[in-house]
Amino acid sequence: MIATNLKNIERYKGLSDNLDMAIAWLQEGLWSSLPEDAHRPCIAIEDVPIAVHKIVVKVAI
pLDDT digits (tens, 9 = 90+) for 4-23: 888 888 899 999 898 898 88
Whole-number Cα distances in Å, 11 to 20, 24, 26, 36, 49: 11, 12, 14, 29, 25
Cα 27 from Cα 7, distance rounded (Å)? 9
Average pLDDT, the chain: 73
Cα 20 from Cα 40, distance rounded (Å)? 23
Structural domains of the chain, count: 1
Q: 0.75 exceeded by the pTM?
A: no
Cα 61 from Cα 32, distance rounded (Å)? 34
Provide the residue range defining the domain that includes 10. 1-61
